[in-house]
Chain A
Amino acid sequence: MLSVENLKKYFYTSNGIVHSVDGVSFNLRKGETLGLVGESGCGKTTTGRTIIKLYEPDEGKIIFDNQDITHITQNEMLPFRKRIQMIFQDPYASLNPRMTAGDIVREPMIIHGIPKDEHDDRINHLMRLVDLNSEQAGRYPHEFSGGQRQRIGIARALAVEPELIICDEPISALDVSIQAQIVNMLEDLQNQLGLTYLFIAHDLSMVRHISTRVAVMYLGKIVELADSDELYTNPKHPYTLSLMSSIPIPDPDKSDSRHHISLKGEIPNALNLPEGCSFHPRCPKAKPECRSLDVTLKDIGNGHLCSCPFTE
């Protein structure tokens, strides 16, 4: 459905060039959920935004439904925007406080030229789809709780019947008990409507739960990509290993007995990328040759891709 090849997005700042996305490639299959995980500054959000062309890509290719959309104009992009929608992290900042819930959901219908006489029926239908009632369409964002606001954001994304939804940290601003509500809703909607998701998040256990496959990003590159169970039970890249061993487990005995691989330092900023494998300064298994390594994702069996050549 979507294929991203060697995508690069750089930001030019007064301090130098930020290599936010530095050669990302992946395919997204129809009906699947691809999880994109990594720590802040790894480029996962920029990747999502570049795909929907909120940012103009610097290099690489974005192919959606066999059509190259990498360098088309904003006008040419419009029909694709109808097919690719986005859900944002912050349900407070992503809804216009001066518009009613109904008008927020209506806006994409106006933009994409859906006949006016269908709007109200659609809004009622969408509100019910996300477990709100149609009377609530007349209310303003401040009258809703965080979880309800995220439902409005989901209804807005669904308003033009998209095929692909880019979910950028859709649950990280919500309370634990509400997160499960939203995750279940996203799963139900996927089954009902045949949606495909790119699910960007840093909560690794939730990503495992919702994703078919998971890609791990570090400093603008995907370092490992595999089926979600395979990735979590059999991680290969040293960064993924450390990431997995750092997930807090809500079980005292398991938490006490597990071995945690701690990393030195923190993710460096993307201004001065380390030479070779960009993870080598923090890697517990780094070798001298890692400084000049050409890291590309290689299939190590059954579609499990890993960029580190030194895995057992």
Chain B
Amino acid sequence: MSENILRVEDLHMSFFTSAGEVKAVGGVTFDVRKGEVLGIVGESGSGKSATMLSVMGLQGTSGRIKSGKIMFNDEDMSTMNMNEIRGRKISMIFQDPMTSLNPVLTIGYQLEESLRRHKWKGDIHSRALEMLERVGVVPAEKRIRQYPHEFSGGQRQRIMIAMAMICEPELLIADEPTTALDVTVQAQILDLMKELQKSSGMSVILITHDLGVIAGNADRVLVMYGGQIMEMGTRRDIFYSSAHPYTKGLLRSVPNPDMPKERLIPIEGQPPDLLNPPKGCPYVKRCPEAMKICMNQKPERITLSESHCYSCWLGVKNNA
């Protein structure tokens, strides 16, 4: 057994829409190690959610994995029965707890559904109560009979977490889990996730656009843009010695906590149109350091250290 729980290799995924082929993921390679929190940061259209939907086999009827390999515990996922995996080995939490819960079923029913589905050995009802207590939805005996509308946004996200963790998955994918929540509640939910992750030893993929959430919660970070990985490293690599112009630009465009009044340095321009993605680097049109080669050829991945790598022609040039 390797130390990786998940390996994604050169994944290409597209959505086929009436307007044409949207190349959501264009050649993405990364690992998730056992017991780590991998943060994925990127803006809308960066391909972060599309990558995860591919991992879960939830790309839908319009989405298609065109090439690439996804390995879970060294096994090719395309040969697996995803119904056995989803909710049991890999679980997912979504941004909006309001639309992810079924409004006409009690939360008890929805919690137990996953246990029944995966033939949980032991008492289903007491397991559901135990999970509710662990995520702080109390008194569990009373709350378990209630419907989603009787809970606040933060409580619903706690229920989603309980539901995702109820079968003790090995990997939890949290897609913008706190984006819809207020800051004080966001802090509560992130603390809860951290605590559950530590005590269970599972791996977590935390997807967010909030650099602050990444800085406080991820062990390693993946920076995505236009369907590709721009840079990857430990959170110290990314925040203190970022190498890619996009990562640098992103870090500069949020207010500096030490110099809050300093003028912001935005990234000029607009995100790329994935119907007609640039041939070369997806960031080329907004990059202040773009060169001719960036227009036509995809950059190679440059390794800076064991943990830190990035994809940019600038690095190739500097190395040469």
A binds B: yes
The interface of chain A, by Cβ under 8 A from chain B, is 39-40, 145-148, 175-181, 183-184, 187, 202, 204-206, 208-209, 228-229, 232, 242-243, 245-252, 254-256, 260, 262-263, 266-267
Contact of A246 with B43 in the complex, beta carbons under 8 Å: no
Which of A184, A187, A232, A246 is B184 in contact with, Cβ under 8 Å? A246
User: Which B197-248 residues sit within 8 Å CB-CB of chain A?
Assistant: 209-216, 235-236, 239-240
Closest chain A residue, CB of each to CB of B263? A184
Given the interface pairs A180-B254, A250-B211, the reply to whether A208 lies near B267 with Cβ below 8 Å is no
Contact of A39 with B183 in the complex, beta carbons under 8 Å: yes
Which of A243, A250, A255 is packed against the most chain B CB atoms within 10 Å? A250
* 6 tightest Cβ-Cβ pairs between the two chains A and B: A248-B212, A180-B266, A39-B182, A180-B253, A175-B43, A177-B267
B250 on interface, CB distance cutoff 8 Å: yes
Give 23 CB contacts A-B under 8 Å.
Answer: A39-B184, A145-B270, A177-B43, A177-B286, A178-B43, A178-B270, A180-B265, A180-B267, A183-B264, A205-B254, A229-B261, A246-B184, A247-B183, A248-B213, A249-B257, A251-B215, A252-B215, A252-B236, A252-B240, A254-B257, A255-B212, A256-B216, A263-B188
A230 to chain B, nearest CB (A): 12
Contact of A248 with B250 in the complex, beta carbons under 8 Å: no
Complex CA gap A255/B250 in Å reads 18
Complex CA gap A245/B190 in Å reads 14
Hey, which chain B residues are within 8 Å of A204, CB to CB? 183
Given the interface pairs A229-B260, A247-B212, the reply to whether A148 lies near B187 with Cβ below 8 Å is no
Closest chain A residue, CB of each to CB of B257? A249
Contact of B154 with A177 in the complex, beta carbons under 8 Å: no
Hey, which chain A residues are within 8 Å of B155, CB to CB? 266
Given the interface pairs A145-B270, A209-B255, the reply to whether A177 lies near B249 with Cβ below 8 Å is yes
Which of B184, B212, B257 is packed against the most chain A CB atoms within 10 Å? B184
Contact of B188 with A262 in the complex, beta carbons under 8 Å: yes
Given the interface pairs A175-B209, A250-B254, the reply to whether A147 lies near B261 with Cβ below 8 Å is no
B305 on interface, CB distance cutoff 8 Å: no
Complex CA gap A242/B235 in Å reads 25
Contact of A176 with B211 in the complex, beta carbons under 8 Å: yes
The interface of chain B, by Cβ under 8 A from chain A, is 43-44, 152-155, 182-188, 191, 209-216, 235-236, 239-240, 249-251, 253-255, 257, 260-261, 263-268, 270-271, 286
Closest chain A residue, CB of each to CB of B273? A145
Which of A176, A184, A232 is B250 in contact with, Cβ under 8 Å? A176
Which of B152, B215, B263, B270 is A248 in contact with, Cβ under 8 Å? B215
Contact of A263 with B184 in the complex, beta carbons under 8 Å: yes
Task: Tell me how many residue pairs across A and B have CB atoms closer than 8 Å.
Answer: 127
Contact of A206 with B255 in the complex, beta carbons under 8 Å: yes
Complex CA gap A166/B186 in Å reads 27
Hey, which chain B residues are within 8 Å of A180, CB to CB? 253-254, 264-267
Closest chain A residue, CB of each to CB of B261? A209
Hey, which chain B residues are within 8 Å of A184, CB to CB? 263-264, 266
Hey, which chain B residues are within 8 Å of A205, CB to CB? 212, 254-255, 257, 260
B186 to chain A, nearest CB (A): 7
Complex CA gap A128/B144 in Å reads 57
Complex CA gap A255/B215 in Å reads 7
Contact of A251 with B152 in the complex, beta carbons under 8 Å: no
Contact of B235 with A202 in the complex, beta carbons under 8 Å: no
Hey, which chain B residues are within 8 Å of A245, CB to CB? 187
Hey, which chain A residues are within 8 Å of B210, CB to CB? 248
Complex CA gap A87/B156 in Å reads 31
Contact of A250 with B183 in the complex, beta carbons under 8 Å: no
Which of B155, B191, B249, B264 is packed against the most chain A CB atoms within 10 Å? B264
Contact of A262 with B216 in the complex, beta carbons under 8 Å: no
Closest chain B residue, CB of each to CB of A267? B182
Hey, which chain A residues are within 8 Å of B184, CB to CB? 39, 242-243, 246, 262-263, 266
